[in-house]
């Protein structure tokens, strides 16, 4: 189970950094919820704001 979480977390970070997929697409690809998505990325800064998600065109 921990191995699976680690693999999904690593995959998620890689896909996120490319900026080519939406949050929904990433969640469907990895079969995770949006809550898990944000948990894996630890996307919130100390002020509680979300970092911008840039999508390349």
Contacts of 2-11 spanning 24+ positions with Cβ under 8 A: 5/40, 8/32, 8/40, 9/40
Average pLDDT over every residue of 47-57? 57
Q: How far apart are CA 47 and CA 57, in angstroms?
A: 29
Query: pTM to 2 decimals?
Result: 0.61
Q: How far apart are CA 8 and CA 48, in angstroms?
A: 24
Q: Give every CB contact of residue 45 below 8 A, 6+ residues apart in sequence.
A: 51
pLDDT at 10 over 80: no
* pLDDT tens track for 14-43: 888 788 888 899 999 999 999 988 888 775
């Amino acid at each position: 189970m921990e191995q699976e979480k680690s693999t999904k977390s690593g995959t998620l970070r890689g896909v996120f950094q490319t900026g080519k997929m939406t949050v929904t697409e990433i969640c469907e690809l990895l079969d995770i919820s949006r809550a898990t998505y944000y948990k894996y990325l630890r996307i919130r800064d100390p002020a509680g704001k979300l970092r911008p998600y840039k999508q390349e065109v």
